[in-house]
Structure 1
């Protein structure tokens, strides 16, 4: 073996004292024919510093998210959590999945505890209702930020295990997950997929990867068995499968490879721990669901029955078979997609024994989308747990392409440096737009309603079950689940209703084919829907808001009462505005608030701003005055721009034409033979030759500072 190749192998071998590897591999994980420098070993406290940085980073991430992504972010986690923490009388919207026991209550139970703690803090500090509402709205996101940071941290640790502590690839993996637009957009949301992703990557760090290597098969006596780590790994894996039954696809493959390549003793250990861990999580899940639902049930089985046997998932959308390839991977990876594809190709083409971890990650990253493609309903978040593995697979091609451009200043790598900067800027722009601007109006409108409740409503008593229902009323003429609900409305005295979209449960195939939910019925014929489903139809519309009238009998804050009452506030998208003006020409409703929602949307019913109409004449007048003030400010701003432009043009020296020729006394043009005033230096006249004023000659340097 040459000196060059020996030096290359040493540079890629992981440190034997690595604290990031749960089971140290017996062979180098990466080899190359080209020697290169490695970054210095991280200090002992680097892991703690990285974790603290990621927690702080994700906290900022969570507190800057102002947009709407998926209804499940609220209706499959926060609404049932609100019910657990505060009771059903507080007005949570419990969707049909919970009524038919399709979801495990373990996930909402986490946020129920968060709500209870946040409410206790608000009581202890004596916060105002508005401050308490802000705390309850922010608390779940802050919790999810810590969970997301743990996921980022263990993604970096798994990369260190695979590539070695002294590897650029591990740091590239960390950079990929920190700069990922999808991670910034989605990781701090309260979706079960986000918790599933973190649990999966933590479990993969604890997995005994050396049991599945060819080298370990030849040398079984050199390995140590850590039952505690395996047990914790399988507990987390079982929890992930209870949260999202599709997660079992990952562990079927990973576990199958380990069982195939491990020794008999290891097979026994793995089977025993899997049985114990699975039974423990299953028992806990059954007990918790028994208390939540009030009877014994098994949600994963119900989930499979409704979504596969009855095909109810198709009711929420049907996608092409290539969805995960043509849309799923591009949305998850954005600018990292080319490096991921190259990494997958290179790893699966060269299936070396020492790369068995990468081979398994690459295989499961293709197998899971392949299986899920057989289901008609597809969403990119269903393959979200694969993103940490995909970042790890992308790290090596990324380093190979950009490291020479970043580590050196050679001009030949200038295009790569420009590409590197461009990709970072693209990621930042996408992340900012999707988390601050896109679909932001449906979140901010609920803050507006809370403000109006503080002005006009009556706060509920929180020291018992005796509630005062004297708040405002609101109706959402939008596609179902377009906004969050009680998790953002907070106060139970905000009486609200919205169009629903219950699926055709237990319907025949013929009935399913013609079934139209409430939202569909409204958009099919808004006029007929309002006549049939509003109290008084289109003839008897109230002239003033409910909070200005004498209090009537207590009304429960529910969104399911039909026919719907005409509310104090009507909320809809700008797409519906011409229709509403046509249907309610002489009504007391008028615009009292409007906000930007998004520049584009794939659902035509959600186009345009979010608009609020109200019955309060004072609010309408205040809003008209506010709009007029904004118009005047905008007009003044444009006028100031025009004035500034004229001033800049006037300050510029006028351009001379061919017929000026310096005849003007103020002309700055001088022919070379035209003499100027003699120039002196400390009273001594300088030679005339230095005083020639060529048209192209510029004053610069020391002589310019002396005045010539």
Structure 2
């Protein structure tokens, strides 16, 4: 006891606080990884085709070969994209497949692992982005400050982050790389003039330097990593260069942070040595990343190429970006920022305005400088991108962490008094905070679990159908590696056709099985066509929706007369298996074969019912997709037609049982409502209520009660049963009312 009592209490408290400060970032990172993993597994909706076709499809081809059935879009055929991003997921595919082959699992479980693995990988990247959002907020406002915690809460509760951050878009990885590089950026460089002490501002400079020392290493010690991450972000998305042009301009041509500095020469621009060091490190970092990218592109494309140049040539010189839509000049202001920020938008606008035009007196000059630079970047990048006709909100996604950091001070100033004080005057603000959080939760749930959810359900259904009807033998652990075992495992090819707008569903990343041979309507842009040809150009999907009947008659083998009668696995002469001939994706030709499964949106159903009434196709699955859609071609449920009579019969039985169950539930609900009405009449009769008439012997009560019950019975009970029930109820109520009256 003497030994313990001799330890100074202040020293113990300081050591505990130090251990807590060290453990907190690790705990927060682990929490964010688990949180985003849950987020990734909760996302069951479709957002953008690029989530699959610009990352997972080329990654699938890298991992499993050119005969694996991946859909390689025109951008990859014309060398417009860097292959760095797909190579990340190709490594994940390779490792996941290696692990699944080394253990005993069913083919469907192996397919599920390959579907989930990229999501969990991106969840890790998203967690890193949230973590560095919190770290940068701590660097600006102070570690563990209210503003830093508010930034973390905003990132975690952001509907856009929940909806988008765990998707395998290159913009999502770009966002993580950007915020990590921003945290490592040398905000303190160049240093202040030594004469600042002589001018009487020693305290502020000392405080700035202490903040820099407390929150991270001194300038240039982490500059290598910062520039490498920034260069990688620019290779992924060349538009990310706009962010670093802004920040480099601020660093090189730094302006005084106050009128006092300008008048007293307390501010120095970077020295020649500092400037040369910065330029050299930027050049070396960029060259390293560019060299790695070039080697990977050489391996992927099979020839030396420079995708950024091809990207600019096709999208600017040939204006192919316009083919995918035009937007108003104010798109990022009127739609981009509101979608990114949702309920935080008012506080974000206040934070942007204050950072750009006002110096906060409670902040140091360094804090004001960092906030101003971030705010300028958030204004500059959308302004430049607004000059391009084709706009998407994900193009400015890398700005969201910076916007969250700028949003946190106004948010704290507004809601902190309501949280820390129990005063009744703050009750409306507490209610508002709860309301905003609930709105965010509702938006997050709807966009990730409901809206456009049918797309992924269809892919799950196809994989399950393939395992049920096409896989007749499960491979052993050793057999799974041999071509002979694969041929015995897959006795027939399952064919699927998608009569939908192009890229409406994922492809091989979710079909997985090489035995699923699918085709879909394509939408190749007018590459290398003149302006006249571009004006008259219609892609395959546009041709189909312009005249579905004519398209099917012309472009389907057999037209609208020669339909198959049985699915491929019931045919005597089965098509070759994928082990003997590679499965390819038929998207470049308009000569499609009628498949085993035909999939389309329900708005097309009346047209197909008329055109294919003589075929053996019939509904075998239907799933709800969305309550609304801005594209009329994608409205309604998603419907699956198939040729298997057994599956059709099972689906009809399923829908009949489901209808009967819903009908019975409706009957029970209506009967409960009717019982409540009758109980109400009985109470009124017992109490001698005057609204039905108080005169006894006139029959007013009896007649009115009978009429009301009759109407209720007809309304609440189906017609056939309702008539009998209504008559019985009228007699019973009239008799009971007469007895009550006597």
TM range (shorter): 0.7 to 0.9
Deviates most, 120-129 or 331-340? 120-129
Aligned residue for 1:271? Answer: 279
1:575 aligns with 2:603: yes
Write the deviation string for residues 89-112 of structure 1: whole angstroms up to 9, x where unpaired. 110000000000011110000000
Aligned pair partner of 2:312 in 288, 304, 327: 304
Task: Please tell me whether the aligned partners of residues 210 and 216 of structure 1 are also in contact (alpha carbons under 8 angstroms).
Answer: no
Aligned residue for 1:183? Answer: 161
**1:266-665 to 2 correspondence within 5 Å?**
266-351=274-359, 353-354=365-366, 355-458=368-471, 463-464=481-482, 468=487, 470-554=492-576, 556-560=583-587, 561-646=589-674, 654-655=683-684, 656-658=687-689
Q: Partners in 2 of 1:288 and 1:347 — Cα distance?
A: 41
Q: Partners in 2 of 1:217 and 1:149 — Cα distance?
A: 43
Q: Partners in 2 of 1:424 and 1:226 — Cα distance?
A: 38
Given the superposition, is the C-alpha separation of residues 218 and 464 from structure 1 closer, same or farther in structure 2, using an over 3 Å criterion? farther
Q: Partners in 2 of 1:424 and 1:615 — Cα distance?
A: 48
1:472 Cα deviation from its structure 2 partner: 1.2
SS in 2 for 1:120: helix
SS in 1 for 2:253: helix
Deviates most, 259-268 or 381-390? 259-268
Given the superposition, is the C-alpha separation of residues 215 and 127 from structure 1 closer, same or farther in structure 2, using an over 3 Å criterion? farther
**1:6-45 to 2 correspondence within 5 Å?**
43-45=21-23
SS in 2 for 1:567: coil
1:40 Cα deviation from its structure 2 partner: 13
Q: Partners in 2 of 1:287 and 1:373 — Cα distance?
A: 33
Q: Partners in 2 of 1:321 and 1:532 — Cα distance?
A: 41
Aligned residue for 1:141? Answer: 119
SS in 1 for 2:523: coil
Write the deviation string for residues 197-250 of structure 1: whole angstroms up to 9, x where unpaired. 000000001000011576799589979855441000000000000000000000
Given the superposition, is the C-alpha separation of residues 115 and 135 from structure 1 closer, same or farther in structure 2, using an over 3 Å criterion? same
Given the superposition, is the C-alpha separation of residues 535 and 174 from structure 1 closer, same or farther in structure 2, using an over 3 Å criterion? same
Write the deviation string for residues 282-307 of structure 1: whole angstroms up to 9, x where unpaired. 11111111011101001111111111
SS in 1 for 2:248: helix
Aligned residue for 2:238? Answer: 245
What TM-score, normalized by structure 2, do the two folds share?
A: 0.81
Task: Please tell me whether the aligned partners of residues 340 and 397 of structure 2 are also in contact (alpha carbons under 8 angstroms).
Answer: yes
1:112 aligns with 2:90: yes
Given the superposition, is the C-alpha separation of residues 542 and 308 from structure 1 closer, same or farther in structure 2, using an over 3 Å criterion? same
Q: Partners in 2 of 1:605 and 1:658 — Cα distance?
A: 58
The structure with more helix, counted as a fraction of residues: 2
Given the superposition, is the C-alpha separation of residues 217 and 595 from structure 1 closer, same or farther in structure 2, using an over 3 Å criterion? farther
What TM-score, normalized by structure 1, do the two folds share?
A: 0.85
Task: Please tell me whether the aligned partners of residues 41 and 165 of structure 1 are also in contact (alpha carbons under 8 angstroms).
Answer: no
Task: Please tell me whether the aligned partners of residues 494 and 557 of structure 1 are also in contact (alpha carbons under 8 angstroms).
Answer: no
Aligned residue for 1:33? Answer: none
Q: Partners in 1 of 2:120 and 2:590 — Cα distance?
A: 37
Aligned pair partner of 1:128 in 100, 106, 113: 106
**1:203-214 to 2 correspondence within 5 Å?**
203-211=181-189
Q: Partners in 1 of 2:194 and 2:526 — Cα distance?
A: 53
SS in 2 for 1:43: helix
Task: Please tell me whether the aligned partners of residues 178 and 398 of structure 2 are also in contact (alpha carbons under 8 angstroms).
Answer: yes
Aligned residue for 2:138? Answer: 160
Task: Please tell me whether the aligned partners of residues 557 and 593 of structure 2 are also in contact (alpha carbons under 8 angstroms).
Answer: yes
Aligned residue for 2:736? Answer: none
Task: Please tell me whether the aligned partners of residues 495 and 517 of structure 2 are also in contact (alpha carbons under 8 angstroms).
Answer: yes
SS in 1 for 2:615: coil
Q: Partners in 1 of 2:103 and 2:196 — Cα distance?
A: 63
Aligned pair partner of 1:254 in 229, 242, 247: 247
Deviates most, 109-118 or 553-562? 553-562
Structure 1, unaligned stretches of length 5 or more? 1-16, 18-38, 664-708
Q: Partners in 1 of 2:94 and 2:457 — Cα distance?
A: 24
1:436 Cα deviation from its structure 2 partner: 0.4
Given the superposition, is the C-alpha separation of residues 197 and 525 from structure 1 closer, same or farther in structure 2, using an over 3 Å criterion? same
Write the deviation string for residues 654-706 of structure 1: whole angstroms up to 9, x where unpaired. 24235799x9xxxxxxxxxxxxxxxxxxxxxxxxxxxxxxxxxxxxxxxxxxx
1:166 Cα deviation from its structure 2 partner: 4.3
Q: Partners in 2 of 1:400 and 1:414 — Cα distance?
A: 15
SS in 1 for 2:518: strand
**1:182-201 to 2 correspondence within 5 Å?**
182-201=160-179
Aligned residue for 1:91? Answer: 69
Write the deviation string for residues 11-38 of structure 1: whole angstroms up to 9, x where unpaired. xxxxxx9xxxxxxxxxxxxxxxxxxxxx
Task: Please tell me whether the aligned partners of residues 211 and 217 of structure 1 are also in contact (alpha carbons under 8 angstroms).
Answer: no
Q: Partners in 1 of 2:195 and 2:92 — Cα distance?
A: 47
1:650 Cα deviation from its structure 2 partner: 6.5
SS in 1 for 2:628: coil
Task: Please tell me whether the aligned partners of residues 186 and 220 of structure 2 are also in contact (alpha carbons under 8 angstroms).
Answer: no
Write the deviation string for residues 71-103 of structure 1: whole angstroms up to 9, x where unpaired. 000000000000000011110000000000011
Superposed CA RMSD: 2.4
SS in 2 for 1:572: strand
**1:652-691 to 2 correspondence within 5 Å?**
654-655=683-684, 656-658=687-689
